[in-house]
Amino acid sequence: QRTDFINFFHEVIDRFEMNLSEDMKLQRDLPNEKYDVWVDKDKMVQVLDNIISNAIKYSPEGGTIRLQVSKQNRQLLVAVSDQGTGIPYDKVDRIFDRFYRADQARSRKLGGTGLGLAIAREIIEAHHGSIWAKSKEGKGTTILFTLPLVNKKRRGK
Ligand code: ATP
Ligand code: MG
């Protein structure tokens, strides 16, 4: 469906805010503009739910999760940054692999299958976008992805 991503993202974040523990804050850095993208909304909810719940899950001491959207050429760029455990630099590229979980011992305690980001990557790539991560161990993680913007001059399709 053709979707105003900013509006859609606000709704997803609203749901997280409703049952967030007191030590976590969500900081929205979303432009006050209409950014249209073609998305399967249910699938995109799955992507955002996993990225945001990872940010919360891997922030044992709480902190602020920053949610940013910007425009880069004809792409929408979404970034979700946390101040959590981070990921060792040599493992960052593997977090999108199926069943991969960094720091098995700690992760096992937190629960999960290690499929969330692999599914997120499949969904983003099916939408002709890309997804990657930046992280510093002990400092935090940023997950970024792009989606092609709808060409405004063209209508319908
Ligand atoms: P699932 O999402 O299937 O419940 P999961 O969260 O362990 O399980 P993924 O979402 O695929 O799996 O993430 C893979 C691994 O990447 C995680 O186990 C964790 O080690 C690491 N990871 C993902 N996001 C973060 C983050 N924000 N901070 C630190 N580590 C992360
Ligand atoms: Mg996950």
Task: Calculate mean pLDDT across residues 108-127.
Answer: 89
Per DSSP, the three-state class of 79 is strand
- Residue 6 · residue 29 · CB < 8 Å: no
For residue range 72-107, list pLDDT tens digits in order: 999 999 999 999 999 999 999 999 999 888 776 566
Distance CA 9, CA 52 (A): 11
For the Cβ of 83 lying below 6 angstroms from any atom of ligand 1, the answer is no
Q: Which of 61, 94, 117, 135 to mutate to test the pocket of ligand 1 (most atoms within 8 A of CB)?
A: 117
Top mutation candidate among 16, 90, 95, 109 for ligand 1, by most atoms within 8 Å of CB = 95
Average pLDDT over residues 50-62: 94
Task: Give the residue whose CA is nearest to atom 10 of ligand 1.
Answer: 116
Q: What is the mean pLDDT of residues 128-134?
A: 98
What integer pLDDT is reported at residue 107 of this predicted model? 63
| pTM for this entry | 0.94
Quickly tell me which residue has 């969330």 as its tokens.
116
Ligand 1 pocket check for 115: Cβ under 6 Å: yes
113 or 4: which carries more pLDDT confidence?
A: 4
58 lines ligand 1 (CB under 6 A): yes
How far is it, in rounded angstroms, from Cα 51 to Cα 31?
A: 20
Task: State the Cα–Cα distance between residues 10 and 116, nearest whole angstrom.
Answer: 21
- Average of pLDDT values for 6-20? 96
The letter for the amino acid at 99 is F
pLDDT tier, 31 (very low <50, low <70, confident <90, very high otherwise): very high
Q: Looking at this predicted complex, what is its ipTM? A: 0.98
Q: For residue 153, what pLDDT is reported?
A: 64
Residue ranges of E strands in the chain:
2-4, 24-29, 36-38, 63-72, 75-81, 131-136, 140-148
Helix (H, G, I), strand (E, B) or coil at 36: strand
Specify the pLDDT at position 62. 92
Is 48 touching ligand 1 by the criterion CB < 6 Å?
Answer: no
CA 85 to centroid of ligand 2, rounded, Å: 14
Overall average pLDDT of the 130-140 stretch: 96
- Of the chain, the end-to-end C-alpha distance in Å amounts to 11
In three-state secondary structure terms, 12 is: helix
127 pLDDT tier (thresholds 50, 70, 90)? very high
pLDDT, one tens digit per residue, over 60-80 is 999 999 999 999 999 999 999
Question: Which ligand 1 atom sits closest to the C-alpha of 107?
Answer: 18
- The ligand minimizing its distance to the Cα of 106 is 1
Q: Please spell the DSSP secondary structure of 43-64, one letter per residue.
A: HHHHHHHHHHHHHHHT-TT-EE
Strands 63-72 and 75-81, bridge-based pairing: antiparallel
